[in-house]
Amino acid sequence: MSQAIDIKVPDIGDFKDVPVIEVFVKVGDTVKAEDPLVSLESDKATMDVPSPRGGVVKAILVKLGDKVGEGSVIMQFEGQDTAPATTESPKPSVSAPPSPVSAPAGRAEVRVPDIGDFKDVPVIELFVKVGDTVKAEDPLVSLESDKATMDVPAPLACVVSELRVKVGDKVSEGSIILVVSTGTGSVAAAAVPAAPASTPPAPAASPAAATGAVDEAAFAIAYAGPAVRKLARELGVDLGRVKGSGEHGRIVRADVEAFVKGGAAAPASAAKGAAPTAAGGVGGGIDLLPWPKVDFAKFGPIERKELSRIKKISAANLHRNWVVIPHVTTHDEADITDLEQFRVQMNKELEKSGVKISMLPFMMKAAVATLKQFPEFNASLEGDALVLKNYWHIGFAADTPNGLMVPVIRDVDKKTIPEITKEMGELAKLARDGKLKPDQMSGGTFTISSLGGIGGIYFTPIINAPEVAIMGVCKSYWKQHSSDGRNWSSRLTLPLSLSWDHRVIDGAAAARFNVHFANLLADMRRVMF
Ligand code: CAO
């Protein structure tokens, strides 16, 4: 049976009550063993806590600023069993502060920096040899205690003149590991300021950076943890150009992602000489202008309000879906005059039971019957294959004080209209109270977004990936209809807006889907066929 698996902070030495400075995952994410989950920062080091196993994040139990120590439960994964995937938890990867040097220029001894209470830690790897030129923050040696692996970075640009340790040697804070020469003309990167890691460098407006080439010197001294550095490498982002929004200007994952979305970065392949397009872009990426930076206060009084957690999560999902899925929206309308009469009649009959049915449960039933007729709408794209689902779980967009949420009603085909009404009411209440559980928002095969209680005529709903279509409905209104241009009557008309993924669905199929859906709403008896 599926149950929650607690994910705890592993043994992180003598670090206690360490603040969480970044959370790398969100509920619903699938993570692999060793993927970074959170970043912790003590006054001595930054540590990324890796996942001890693969799984799907079910709940996140910490927020930025929370203090944790060994054994603190930071999140829960969904899982089939409680046995860990690996017998041994991966060790946190630690980015130690730059090592102290005994002299700023000339000949200098590089020592092991403050690494907390780690003592007599074996050297497990040497990254440099005599004669090597290194830049500030290049890793020099790697140390591994039984609790963590730590890279000792170069404190400044220098040339290695002597190695004082070998693999297997045990070192502690203050042990001399290298002797280097600094500040000489022979040091290739000597012009790089040996800034402390906590000082973010000013953005470098070099032509190389503008075309996506990474300025290694600026990258090396940028203030960011190991996972963020790794992400920046993967995305080809020059960290030196990213402005950090974390404490003391620390660059967090969101800064790198925002930098990419702003179009200022090019993928690593671009830096390696991929042919640019005629427009100056590299073809595969989106070559956009940076997001306008405006000092709004210059034009009048302003107030700054942080987005709610739900708004941030839904914004990221909506943005991805909008950018990745080629959306097309087909509009139509349904004659719901008779259905509305029936609904009003049923509500009278059910008055004593306390159930009050809105139009939405009927739409859910009509949607399932239409999806059965057009199975490619009840599907997901996986690579080059379409996964057709033989279950009909319908999501509905719910407007909550904290933002948009999409609870899912399972097996709508097997439920009655009053059952759907009741479940919808309960899920909408949970959503508004911020108490929806991840499994109450997952597994949907199609979504309906109803603005009918509010207004509007048509809109463009954004597909809820990995679904391939979404039905948007607005407020019904009385409209004059005629089938022959001579005889007219007033009909209650429901505006429909179906957005569909053009990779999977064609325009003709979408138009047929709408017509079928509208016909069912016009005469719900057809649902039985
Ligand atoms: N046309 C006319 N009236 C409609 C209607 C429609 N299409 N749909 C609902 N109504 C009426 C209802 O009958 C009800 O009227 P009474 O109070 O007189 O009975 C009133 O509007 C309010 O309905 P409701 O919104 O409470 O109920 P619902 O079942 O239609 O919807 C829910 C439930 C949770 C979907 C809805 O409250 C909600 O949150 N809607 C917003 C969804 C949203 O934000 N979508 C946008 C997503 S994209 O950003």
For a mutational test of ligand 1's pocket, the pick from 329, 333, 336, 359, i.e. the residue with the most ligand atoms closer than 8 A to its C-beta, is 359
Q: Which residue has the higher pLDDT, 142 or 248?
A: 142
Ligand 1: centre distance to CA 84 (Å): 45
Q: What is the pLDDT of residue 523?
A: 97
Q: Which atom of ligand 1 is nearest to the CA of 359?
A: 8
- Give the model confidence (pLDDT) of 155-173 as tens digits: 777 888 889 999 889 998 8
- Give the model confidence (pLDDT) of 112-157 as tens digits: 877 767 788 888 888 888 988 888 777 888 888 776 777 788 877 7
Length, in residues, of the chain: 529
What does the alpha-carbon distance between residue 210 and residue 225 come to, in Å, rounded to a whole number? 24
Residue whose CA is at the smallest distance from ligand 1 atom 23: 453
The rounded mean pLDDT for the chain is 82
Q: Which atom of ligand 1 is nearest to the CA of 453?
A: 21
Q: Which of 248, 327, 393, 502 is catalytic?
A: 502
Q: Mean of the pLDDT values across residues 427-431?
A: 96
Structure tokens at 489: 């009557």
Ligand 1: centre distance to CA 398 (Å): 9
Structure tokens at 8: 């705890």
Ligand 1: centre distance to CA 256 (Å): 39
Q: Mean of the pLDDT values across residues 16-32?
A: 88
Ligand 1: centre distance to CA 373 (Å): 26
What does the alpha-carbon distance between residue 224 and residue 505 come to, in Å, rounded to a whole number? 43
Q: Does residue 256 sit in helix, strand or coil? A: helix
Ligand 1: centre distance to CA 356 (Å): 12
Q: DSSP string covering 333-361, please?
A: EEE-HHHHHHHHHHHHHTGGGT----HHH
What does the alpha-carbon distance between residue 335 and residue 359 come to, in Å, rounded to a whole number? 13
- Give the model confidence (pLDDT) of 295-333 as tens digits: 999 999 999 998 888 888 889 899 999 999 999 999 999
Q: What is the pLDDT of residue 217?
A: 62
Percent of the chain whose predicted confidence (pLDDT) is above 90: 46
What does the alpha-carbon distance between residue 447 and residue 464 come to, in Å, rounded to a whole number? 7
Kind of pairing, strands 170-171 and 121-126?
Answer: antiparallel
Q: Which residue has the higher pLDDT, 258 or 495?
A: 495
Nearest-10 crossing angle of helices 359-373, 337-349: 130
pLDDT grade for 221, boundaries at 50, 70 and 90: low
- Give the model confidence (pLDDT) of 175-186 as tens digits: 889 888 865 333
Q: Mean of the pLDDT values across residues 225-242?
A: 78
Residue whose CA is at the smallest distance from ligand 1 atom 17: 453
Q: What is the pLDDT of residue 93?
A: 56
- Give the model confidence (pLDDT) of 53-83 as tens digits: 889 999 999 998 899 988 999 999 987 544 4
For a mutational test of ligand 1's pocket, the pick from 450, 460, 475, 478, i.e. the residue with the most ligand atoms closer than 8 A to its C-beta, is 450
Using the predicted structure, report yes or no on whether residue 420 has a pLDDT greater than 70: yes
Helix (H) or strand (E) holding 130: none
Q: Does residue 236 sit in helix, strand or coil? A: coil
Contact 379, 468 (CB under 8 A): yes
- Give the model confidence (pLDDT) of 323-379 as tens digits: 999 999 999 999 999 999 999 999 999 999 989 999 999 999 999 999 999 999 999
Rg over alpha carbons for the chain, rounded to the nearest Å, is 29
Q: Mean of the pLDDT values across residues 389-398?
A: 98
Q: Does residue 497 sit in helix, strand or coil? A: strand
Q: Mean of the pLDDT values across residues 246-258?
A: 78
* 502: annotated active-site residue: yes
Task: Judge if pTM exceeds 0.75.
Answer: no
Specify burial of residue 186 (Cβ count, 10 A radius: 0-12, 13-18, 19+).
Answer: exposed
Q: Which residue has the higher pLDDT, 290 or 346?
A: 346
Ligand 1: centre distance to CA 455 (Å): 9
Q: Which atom of ligand 1 is nearest to the CA of 361?
A: 29
Using the predicted structure, report yes or no on whether residue 281 has a pLDDT greater than 50: no
- Give the model confidence (pLDDT) of 433-447 as tens digits: 989 998 999 999 999
Query: Residues with Cβ within 6 A of ligand 1?
Result: 358-360, 396-399, 404, 428, 449-453, 461, 473, 475-476, 494
Q: Which residue has the higher pLDDT, 211 or 70?
A: 70
Q: Which atom of ligand 1 is nearest to the CA of 450?
A: 42
Q: Which atom of ligand 1 is nearest to the CA of 399?
A: 39
What does the alpha-carbon distance between residue 187 and residue 440 come to, in Å, rounded to a whole number? 59
Q: What is the pLDDT of residue 144?
A: 80
Using the predicted structure, report yes or no on whether residue 236 has a pLDDT greater than 70: yes
